[in-house]
Amino acid sequence: YPNPFNGTTHANFDVDVKDGETAQLTIYNIKGQVVKTYSNIIPGNHKFMWNGKDSNNNRCAAGIYFYKLSSPTFSSTKKMMYLK
């Protein structure tokens, strides 16, 4: 949330990781290329914010992005829209 979001806001992710597991949150562009990764998320509740920039701190293009949360026992992929 919010979805869509723009350069003046952030996409917020609430992540809940089970005890004994680690998770990864990955953001992909429409071409399937990895834009940003949050790795080794430890058990518990966490909040992440994505500001529309890639791992090199470059602003991403406006468009559709996918985010995937994965752990050993869970995987979920959803869509979001980034507007400029």
Are 27 and 50 within 8 A, CB to CB?
yes
- For residue 49, the 8-state DSSP code is E
Give yes or no for residue 2 having a pLDDT over 90: no
According to DSSP, the β-strands at 34-41 and 23-29 are antiparallel
34 contact partners, CB below 8 Å, separation of at least 6: 26, 27, 28, 55
pTM across the whole model: 0.89
Tens digits of residue pLDDT in 54-81: 999 999 999 999 999 999 999 999 999 9
Q: What is the pLDDT of residues 6-59, one digit of tens each?
A: 877 889 999 999 999 999 999 999 999 999 999 999 999 999 999 999 999 999
